Amino acid sequence: MVSYRSAAGSNLSARQLAASLDVSAPFSLRNVLSHAVINRAWQHNGGRLGPLGLPTSEVQSVNGGIKQFFQGGEIAIIAQELKVTQTRVSTIRFKGIHCFGTSAGPGADEPYVVCAVYAPHKRERAQVIKIPMSGSYENFSSGTQQADVIDVWHREPPTDVAVACYLMEHDSGDEEEVKNNIKTAVEKGITTVEAAIAAVGGPFSLPEEWISMLTVPMSAGITALLGLGDDVIGFQTLDFKFVELNQLAETPLPPHNFGAISFTHETPLITDGGASYKCYFEVYTEIVDHPLPPG
């Protein structure tokens, strides 16, 4: 039998701890020990940043043992055997851009998009991606579109996540300098959200207004892009909730087709009053059955 004290400080692996649990011990003790075993297995698989993501339930009794559910999977102890399983992965994929109106002045547009992706409690996973990866799209006029396939959130556990799109028109600027300035604005937004999370309390709390906390500094960051040589057409954000992405595993959204672009989600119109565009995304969640190391 493993005591709570030895479970907390033991060098035994999570699998060894699970196997040594005494099923005849009082329920309260077994419950405490089981929490320790599950937490160790979760941490072994990367914790909040791993394939399981954040916990979505308390440890609960099931037939023959206990189980805890996470955004991307579950950890169970059944008959003293520890099983860690990844069950869900979500992907957000950029699928293209369509022009509804071009910038004032002679010549066609040369647009590009800078996507910023952030999930609360997962600051380390935040990223800023320029699309296309090199240069810009060329010769855009009203009605022009470009299909593309770029994952901005790749096979991660379903979670609350925001995808912000800055739409730029290339002129004489340095696109990497633009991207770096956007990254600075994104970091300010993330810092605001993370500070609010800490103030709310609880390890996995999330303020309801987190999207506005994120996007206000990001929108204000547009002023830093002025004078860099490229024109700012606009800024829009798509946000997804854990419940929404999780449900897509059971009920996928049918794709829409707009010209050569197949998509499930589109941004609101991104416009500066003259030029106007939309960005398109495919969002889906897959059901998987992938065993993970118990530790």
CA neighbours closer than 13 Å in the CB half-sphere of residue 60: 9
Percent of the chain as helix, strand, coil, to the nearest 5: 30, 35, 35
How far apart are alpha carbons 242 and 10 in whole angstroms? Answer: 35
Output the six-digit token pair for 225.
């892009």
pLDDT the model gives residue 64: 79
Task: Grade residue 148 by pLDDT with cuts at 50, 70 and 90.
Answer: very high
- Average pLDDT rounded to a whole number, residues 53-63: 91
Task: Give the least confident one: 102-111, 251-260, 280-289.
Answer: 102-111
The structural domains of the chain, ordered by start, are 4-87 (no CATH), 89-286 (2.60.40.150)
How far apart are alpha carbons 238 and 270 in whole angstroms? Answer: 12
- Average pLDDT rounded to a whole number, residues 193-219: 87
Output the six-digit token pair for 73.
């999977």
Local structure of residue 142 (DSSP, 8 states):
T
Local structure of residue 141 (DSSP, 8 states):
-
How far apart are alpha carbons 49 and 68 in whole angstroms? Answer: 17
Task: Grade residue 89 by pLDDT with cuts at 50, 70 and 90.
Answer: very high
Q: What are the Cα distances from residue 283, in Å, to 13, 108, 161, 205?
A: 37, 31, 12, 25
Q: Note whether 59 and 39 are within 8 A (CB).
A: no
pLDDT the model gives residue 24: 47
Rounded mean pLDDT of the chain?
89
Nearest to 292 by CA among 76, 35, 1: 76
pLDDT at 52 over 50: yes
Task: Grade residue 18 by pLDDT with cuts at 50, 70 and 90.
Answer: low
Local structure of residue 59 (DSSP, 8 states):
-
pLDDT over 90, % of the chain:
72
Task: Give the least confident one: 10-24, 127-141, 205-219.
Answer: 10-24
pLDDT the model gives residue 206: 87
